[in-house]
Structure 1
Amino acid sequence: MSQVQGWTLGPQTRGTLDILWTCLATLGLCVWTAIHPNIPVVHNAWSTLFERLGLMGLAIIFPEIIITSAWGQRRRAKNLLVEVNRSLGRTTKKTTSEPPTTDPWFHDQAMFAVMGGFAIETHYLDSATEKRIIRRLLTPEGVSILAKTGHLPALSREDVAERSKADIFAKSIVVGQIIWFALQVLGRLCQGLPVTPLETHTAIHVGCAIIVYAIWVNKPYNLLQSVVVAGPDTNYLGAFFNFSDISRDLFQKECERYEMERIEYWKERVIQASQGVLTFGAPPKPPVLKPIDQLLDDYQSDAIRNCTKRYNDEQILCAIAEDACQGLHLLESQGCNTFRGIQPSHRKLLRHTSENFTIRTVWGGWSTDFGHEPNLEKGIHVLFNILYGGCHLAGWASDFPTALESWLWRGSALFLTTVPVWGGLWILWWKSVRSRSKALYLIRNGDLDIIAAPVFFLVLVGYTLARCYFLIEALMSLRLLPSAAYQTVQWSNFLPHVS
Structure 2
Amino acid sequence: MEERSMAADALQLLRLANGEEYSDLTWWQKIFDTLGFFKGVQDSLRAIIQRRNSADPAFKPRAQSCDWTMTHPLFANMGGFHISKSIIDPSYMFGSHPIGDQETFVLDAFQVISLYVRNVIETVPKISRHEIEDRGKADPLVKALVLVQFSWLALSIITRKIESLPVAQLEIATLGFTCCAALTYLAAWQKPKDVDRAIEIRVPEGKYVLPTFYAEYTTSFFATFFTFDHPLQDQDWHLNRYMSSYAWTARIANDNFAGDRPRDRPMTGWLIIGNLVFGGLHCLAWDFDFPTNFEKLLWRISTLTAMLAPLLLLLVVHSFNLPNWARFADYDRRKIRFVLHLSAVYILKPLICIIYVGSRLGVISLALASLRRMPEDVYKTTWTRYIPSIN
Q: TM-score range by the shorter chain?
A: 0.5 to 0.7
Deviation sequence 1:123-177 (CA, Å, 0-9, x none): 6999xx9886564432222111122222543322332132132324444544443
TM-score by length of 2: 0.66
Alpha carbons 2:230, 2:247 under 8 Å: kept: no
Q: Residues 346, 376 of structure 1: CA spacing in aligned structure 2 closer, same or farther, 3 A cutoff? A: farther
Q: Residues 441, 104 of structure 1: CA spacing in aligned structure 2 closer, same or farther, 3 A cutoff? A: closer
Q: CA deviation at 1:185?
A: 1.6
1:407 and 1:111 map into 2 onto residues whose CA distance is: 44
Task: Output the aligned Cα RMSD.
Answer: 4.2
Alpha carbons 2:299, 2:362 under 8 Å: kept: yes
Larger relative contact order (Cα-Cα within 8 Å, sequence gap ≥ 6): 1
Q: CA deviation at 1:213?
A: 3.1
- Using the aligned pairs only, state the percent identity: 24
Q: Residues 235, 475 of structure 1: CA spacing in aligned structure 2 closer, same or farther, 3 A cutoff? A: farther
Residue 116 of structure 1 aligns with an amino acid whose one-letter code is G
Deviation sequence 1:235-290 (CA, Å, 0-9, x none): 832xx1157999x95846xx9xxxxxxxxxxxxxxxxxxxxxxxxxxxxxxxxx9x
Q: Residues 231, 466 of structure 1: CA spacing in aligned structure 2 closer, same or farther, 3 A cutoff? A: same
1:485 and 1:424 map into 2 onto residues whose CA distance is: 41
Higher deviation after alignment, 209-218 or 183-192: 209-218
Deviation sequence 1:396-450 (CA, Å, 0-9, x none): 11222333322222112212332334412320224559x9885535413558835
Quote the residue 1:420 is aligned against. Answer: 311
Which runs of 5 or more residues in structure 1 are unaligned? 1-67, 88-100, 256-288, 290-337, 364-369
1:472 and 1:168 map into 2 onto residues whose CA distance is: 33
1:144 and 1:130 map into 2 onto residues whose CA distance is: 25
Residue 361 of structure 1 aligns with an amino acid whose one-letter code is F
2:281 and 2:240 map into 1 onto residues whose CA distance is: 44
Quote the residue 1:362 is aligned against. Answer: 258
The structure carrying a bigger helix percent of its residues is 1
2:95 and 2:136 map into 1 onto residues whose CA distance is: 37
Bigger Rg, which one:
1
Quote the residue 2:384 is aligned against. Answer: 492
SS in 2 for 1:137: strand
Residue 111 of structure 2 aligns with an amino acid whose one-letter code is G
SS in 2 for 1:417: helix
Which runs of 5 or more residues in structure 2 are unaligned? 21-63, 217-228
Aligned: 1:467 with 2:360? yes
Residue 372 of structure 2 aligns with an amino acid whose one-letter code is R
Matches within 5 A, 1:15-414: 68-83=1-16, 86=19, 104-122=67-85, 135-148=104-117, 149=119, 150=121, 152-233=124-205, 236-237=208-209, 240-242=210-212, 251=232, 352-355=249-252, 357-358=254-255, 360-363=256-259, 371=261, 375-414=265-304
1:449 and 1:145 map into 2 onto residues whose CA distance is: 36
Alpha carbons 1:70, 1:215 under 8 Å: kept: no
Quote the residue 2:31 is aligned against. Answer: none
Q: Residues 119, 206 of structure 1: CA spacing in aligned structure 2 closer, same or farther, 3 A cutoff? A: same
Q: Give 1:476's match in structure 2, choosing from 369, 375, 378.
A: 369
Quote the residue 1:440 is aligned against. Answer: 333
Q: Residues 445, 69 of structure 1: CA spacing in aligned structure 2 closer, same or farther, 3 A cutoff? A: closer
Q: CA deviation at 1:107?
A: 2.9
Residue 181 of structure 2 aligns with an amino acid whose one-letter code is A
Alpha carbons 2:156, 2:384 under 8 Å: kept: yes
Residue 289 of structure 2 aligns with an amino acid whose one-letter code is D
Higher deviation after alignment, 452-461 or 424-433: 424-433
2:294 and 2:311 map into 1 onto residues whose CA distance is: 27
1:114 and 1:251 map into 2 onto residues whose CA distance is: 20
Alpha carbons 2:11, 2:70 under 8 Å: kept: yes
Q: Residues 243, 353 of structure 1: CA spacing in aligned structure 2 closer, same or farther, 3 A cutoff? A: closer
Quote the residue 2:349 is aligned against. Answer: 456
Q: CA deviation at 1:119?
A: 2.0
Residue 168 of structure 2 aligns with an amino acid whose one-letter code is T
Alpha carbons 1:122, 1:135 under 8 Å: kept: yes
SS in 1 for 2:389: coil
Q: Give 2:320's match in structure 1, choosing from 424, 429, 432.
A: 429
Residue 133 of structure 2 aligns with an amino acid whose one-letter code is A
Q: CA deviation at 1:223?
A: 3.1
Residue 376 of structure 1 aligns with an amino acid whose one-letter code is P
Residue 67 of structure 2 aligns with an amino acid whose one-letter code is P
